[in-house]
Structure 1
Amino acid sequence: MEKLVSDGLSRGSVVPETYIFPGEQRPNTVRTCESIPVVDLQGGSEDEVVREILKAGKEYGFFQVINHGIPEDLVNDMISVAQEFFEMPAENKACYYSEDPRKEPRLFTGQGYGKELSLYWRDCFIISAYPVAKFEHLFPEKPDNLKEIMSKFAPEAKGLAARLLRLISIGLGLEEDYLTGNRSGGPVKMVFNYYPRCPDPSLTLGLPKHCDPNLITLLLQGKVSGLQVLHDDRWVSVDPLPNAFVVNFGLLFEVVTNGLLKAVEHRAVTNHSLARTSIALPIRSADALLSKDNNPPLYGSFLFPEFFKIFATKKTDDKEIMMEDFRIKG
């Protein structure tokens, strides 16, 4: 098993050369007086909530949701047990480690998508989690309570995603179930990210600049800041809020809305004194997607596997290049 960042590298006093990014890609100054919008799902009528979601989506492509109905204890337990997983002895995790992206569940380190040659200061564990009955046999036996917590958390998170997609469909003037059902009805994966403390956060990144390929992503941040969003060509730090989920639109959502709601580039930075754990739930598409706007369509129809194959092989962080194969020419 290749050495995980969490299994020794983070205890050193220097960042290994293979994790050091070129100067132009390293973290720089961020806006500390600005934050992404916060949407209170119980903060008004349904129409008011819909307007807030669309406003946030158009301006930032990101927002945080509060008062979402998922119990705070369950949210905290999910983050805690995910961190406990990464902090187990190496021998307890070795059976999950693989360089094969088709393996599931899969633990890996330092790699991802993009053109960077530098390794990322991140360990990652990916597992299908919903429907629970279909995938619970894959859930790790250790930590002892991970299975139980995942079995409770996954349906709650899937329900929140469906609720948000319903509200967005209403806001776009579509049928309420337009973005649910077959369009987001595939299995839901959970992505556990672990960014150990870093000797020098100015030299490396947990994840470089990128856009997500899916419809939307729900992200549970934990209590340590690290997510940054590109807004007006400057990086904005997304500071965690208690019991909040970060929501962002992926490249497929940009296709669905014909560019009205855009996928926005973001990254993860490291921390000198604290480890950071986050849990992402990418909501994908199961069938072909076409814009229903009155505007001339910008993209043709395609299947998600076709899209993801190109996404995984493009080796670029340039969104325009990433999407060129799907745009309607002429």
Structure 2
Amino acid sequence: MENLLSSRFNDVSIPENYVFPPESRPGNLKIPFISNIPVIDLSEAQNDNRTNTIRKIIKAAEEFGFFQVINHGISMNEMNEARSVFKELFEMSLEEKQKLCTSDPSKTCKMFTSSVNYATEKVHLWRDNFRHPCHPLEQWQHLWPENPPRYRECVGACSVEVKKLASRILSLICEGLGLKSGYFDNDLTGSMLLAINHYPACPEPSLTLGITKHADPNLITILMQDDVCGLQVFKDGQWIAVEPIPHAFVVNIGYQLEIISNGKLKSAEHRAVTNSSDARNSAAFFVAPLDDCIIEPAQALTDEHHPPVFKSFKYKEFNALYFAKQGDTEVVLKSFEAQKN
């Protein structure tokens, strides 16, 4: 797999097939951080401030479609261990990484560069990616790589804790929306995929992207960043940079949560930019419904004054269209809107 960026690029310019059209380029990379990006202290939900914490989460999910969480219960040591293993993964020899690369669509654990559509896409992303399912853990862990040697143990422990964290956040969202307790404790959260992104330092970062503008197709995403900036979120017609906060996770509202909330919560469009000096790693835990799970606006949130905005469908139907349309927000959501009388 000679295409892996982490094994080949030391050039002073980027190849033409990594250069995005002018309208899609990141342009100004010095987008300032803004101070009003929501940061939620989850420890406050354990005491008398629970109602206030829920209010903050719902407000952030309505206005931004994402927020960061601190004091979330996952130790700094556990997060650092996971980051260390992710870094080690992409620093392995080409021979070791080739063992993880496959074009077999039936393989659930795979490494690739840019995207799974590398052979047909017009412009490549400046990233390598390694992904695999991680919930239920006992179903998938034995399929993970044996190298790095501590990958299975470390990432397995981290995955379990992140799934618990996602459940806690969804429980607070559930309460905030007025849904019955345990609404998301079923097939709606029956799957979790881990995608580890590696963005090598790029000689011309203003011309390319690590990930293009998109919103996540799943229910909710828990993102672990390192200390290198690169995540940007689209809000009110402009890009804002998300500052990496030590020992914090970024939480993205996915399309399915927007649909279940009948449009009350918003799925945030975001992208990843590169830089010329530092490689960046991020790990996204995508909590998602099972393929045959029925998705529809929660009945408790619809009535004659608030009719369903979206129709009922199977999650796999949404996913198929999402990837066929390459995540085009307007096209995808419009396809699942309810018929208006």
**Bucket of the pairwise TM-score, normalised by the shorter protein:** over 0.9
What's the CA shift for 1:6? 0.7
RMSD between aligned residues:
1.7
What's the CA shift for 1:281? 0.5
Q: Which residue in 2 is equivalent to 1:8?
A: 8
Q: Which residue in 2 is equivalent to 1:311?
A: 322
Q: Which residue in 2 is equivalent to 1:290?
A: 296
Alignment of 1:43-192 (within 5 A): 43=44, 45-111=49-115, 117-186=122-191, 188-192=192-196
Indicate the SS of the match to 1:43.
helix
Q: Once superposed, which parts of structure 1, at least 4 consecutive aligned residues long, lie more than 4 Å away? A: 112-116
Which whole-Å CA distance do the structure 2 matches of 1:88 and 1:119 have between them?
Answer: 22
What's the CA shift for 1:48? 1.3
What's the CA shift for 1:93? 1.1
What's the CA shift for 1:117? 2.1
Alignment of 1:161-310 (within 5 A): 161-186=166-191, 188-286=192-290, 287-291=293-297, 292=299, 293-294=301-302, 295-310=306-321
Taking only the aligned residue pairs, the percentage that are identical comes to 42
Contact persistence 1:167–1:176 (CA under 8 A)? no
Counterpart residue identity of residue 7, structure 2? D
Indicate the SS of the match to 1:140.
coil
Counterpart residue identity of residue 336, structure 2? F
Q: Which residue in 2 is equivalent to 1:18?
A: 17
Deviates more, 1:273-282 or 1:95-104: 95-104
Contact persistence 2:27–2:207 (CA under 8 A)? no
Contact persistence 2:33–2:242 (CA under 8 A)? no
Contact persistence 1:31–1:234 (CA under 8 A)? no
Contact persistence 2:63–2:266 (CA under 8 A)? no
Deviates more, 1:226-235 or 1:23-32: 23-32
Which whole-Å CA distance do the structure 2 matches of 1:280 and 1:156 have between them?
Answer: 14
Contact persistence 2:213–2:271 (CA under 8 A)? yes
Indicate the SS of the match to 1:124.
strand
Counterpart residue identity of residue 19, structure 1? Y
Contact persistence 1:221–1:279 (CA under 8 A)? yes
Seen in structure 2, the aligned counterparts of structure 1 residues 33 and 300 have a Cα distance that, compared at 3 Å, is closer
Structure 2: give runs of 5+ residues left out of the alignment.
none
1:326 equivalenced with 2:336 (yes/no)? yes
What's the CA shift for 1:80? 1.3
Which whole-Å CA distance do the structure 2 matches of 1:58 and 1:324 have between them?
Answer: 19
Which whole-Å CA distance do the structure 2 matches of 1:33 and 1:174 have between them?
Answer: 32
Contact persistence 1:228–1:269 (CA under 8 A)? yes
Counterpart residue identity of residue 326, structure 1? F
Deviates more, 1:125-134 or 1:149-158: 125-134
What's the CA shift for 1:33? 3.5
Counterpart residue identity of residue 216, structure 2? D
- TM-score, structure 1 normalization: 0.95
Indicate the SS of the match to 1:96.
coil
Which whole-Å CA distance do the structure 2 matches of 1:33 and 1:79 have between them?
Answer: 26
Seen in structure 2, the aligned counterparts of structure 1 residues 241 and 98 have a Cα distance that, compared at 3 Å, is same
Seen in structure 2, the aligned counterparts of structure 1 residues 261 and 241 have a Cα distance that, compared at 3 Å, is same
Indicate the SS of the match to 2:257.
helix
Seen in structure 2, the aligned counterparts of structure 1 residues 274 and 166 have a Cα distance that, compared at 3 Å, is same
Which whole-Å CA distance do the structure 2 matches of 1:303 and 1:225 have between them?
Answer: 36
What's the CA shift for 1:315? 3.5
Deviations 1:88-110 (A, max 9, x none): 11100111112344422011111
- TM-score, structure 2 normalization: 0.92
Which whole-Å CA distance do the structure 2 matches of 1:231 and 1:324 have between them?
Answer: 20
Structure 1: give runs of 5+ residues left out of the alignment.
none
Which whole-Å CA distance do the structure 2 matches of 1:23 and 1:50 have between them?
Answer: 41
Which whole-Å CA distance do the structure 2 matches of 1:46 and 1:159 have between them?
Answer: 18
Indicate the SS of the match to 2:295.
coil
Counterpart residue identity of residue 6, structure 2? S
**Aligned pairs, how many?**
327
